[in-house]
Structure 1
Amino acid sequence: MSHEAQEVEVKYRVKDLAALEAALSRRGVTLSTPVRQDDQAYAQAGWSHGHSKIGVVFARLRTQEGRHLFTVKKPLDNEMACLEHETEVADREQMHQAVIAMGFRPTVRVVKTRRTGTLNGTSICVDEIEHLGVFLELERTARAGESGVVVQQRLDSFALSLGVDLERITDTYDSLVYAATTSA
């Protein structure tokens, strides 16, 4: 395997936010103040919702607190175990035009308010997503040679250990927003 970082995550629909916040607090996790993230997702030409994402490159432009981040993800084991590259860009609109010129097309816009914390190398995000509700996202970078699926199992064990009513979600936010906004 190359030296690329594999970002591995698990997501859950949160049924009781106060219970989740209390459980995280008991573990010593302090969540940040809320930050608004405005994400535009892009897919390669020829890909559409419902097709497999494995091995397909996706892009995202995120604006957060006046900064613009450009991210490219390539799902490996599943949609939430990806090779990921990210950099800050100066001009969101120019980057948007460049992404389109590279053959990508805009898919969905995901707007969320995110609070973050960390525990033992795991990134913990509590996200309130427009049109969807509240979610918990746990993320960790897999070590070289480490299976993304095994990392997901460990993250899931941690989530279950919180003792909170959570529903594991295997879709990405862009797929969930797409489903919610096209069926409405």
Structure 2
Amino acid sequence: MNDGVREIEVKYRVAEPDAIVVALRQLGVELSAPVRQDDQAYAPAGWAYGQSKTGVSFARLRTQDGRHLFCVKRPLDNELACQEYETEVAEREPMHAAILAMGFQPTVRIVKTRRTGRLGGMSFCLDEIRHLGTFLEIELLVDDNRSAVEVQARLDDFAQSLGVELARSTETYDSLIRAALTAPV
């Protein structure tokens, strides 16, 4: 992604994944076959959960279908409105070492099965996440000065129009997993 493009998304916990698939299909969205993604999340040394993520760069190393993708995201307006840079790398372990050398520290591992689809400019990700359950992400790439909060409100209106029970989350998967794994039993 170039400097002028932002990824803005909304995220929902899904009680009935099959109902989402049907609702999206009725709109002409066919979700892809499931793929497994194994993500290691990283935060800058010195940053800790509970601190703001806005304006802070975070890294991710993803393995999917034998490919390794390195990504840096910097939340701008809120955690789900980011400037993002992503590139494929040849090997996971040397990239992990390079990320550590850049001053990042590993936070949590996010393992999920993802199905994707598109409608107009919107991207959909239906994710079954280990330790969390099923989530729907709706993303829009914008290259102008639109307010992220306004774009998220429009995306939320669309999500609510699907007529399926959804519980909105304003946190990223790494924060949700960390909270789930550290919650008292």
Query: TM-score normalized by structure 2?
Result: 0.96
Q: Is the 8 A contact 1:10 1:168 kept in 2?
A: yes
- Secondary structure, aligned partner of 2:22: helix
Corresponding letter in the other structure for 1:128: E
Corresponding letter in the other structure for 2:63: T
Which consecutive segments of 4 or more residues in structure 1 shift more than 4 A? none
Corresponding letter in the other structure for 2:12: Y
Superposition deviation, residue 91 in structure 1 = 0.8
- Which ranges in structure 2 are unaligned for 5 or more consecutive residues? none
Q: Is the 8 A contact 1:142 1:148 kept in 2?
A: no
Residue equivalent to 2:39: 39
- Secondary structure, aligned partner of 2:71: strand
Q: Deviations over 1:5-44 (max 9, x none)?
A: 2111110000111211111111111000000000000000
Q: How many residues align?
A: 183
Residue equivalent to 2:29: 29
Residue equivalent to 2:93: 93
Residue equivalent to 1:82: 82
Superposition deviation, residue 149 in structure 1 = 1.4
Residue equivalent to 1:70: 70
- Secondary structure, aligned partner of 2:78: coil
For residues 113 and 164 of structure 1, the distance between their equivalents in structure 2, rounded to whole angstroms, comes to: 21
Deviates more, 1:2-11 or 1:18-27: 2-11
- Which ranges in structure 1 are unaligned for 5 or more consecutive residues? none
Q: Is the 8 A contact 1:142 1:151 kept in 2?
A: no
Superposition deviation, residue 143 in structure 1 = 2.5
Residue equivalent to 1:154: 154
CA RMSD in angstroms, aligned pairs only: 1.0
Q: Is the 8 A contact 2:71 2:85 kept in 1?
A: yes
Query: TM-score normalized by structure 1?
Result: 0.97
Superposition deviation, residue 4 in structure 1 = 3.0
Aligned-residue identity in percent: 64
Q: Is the 8 A contact 1:8 1:151 kept in 2?
A: yes
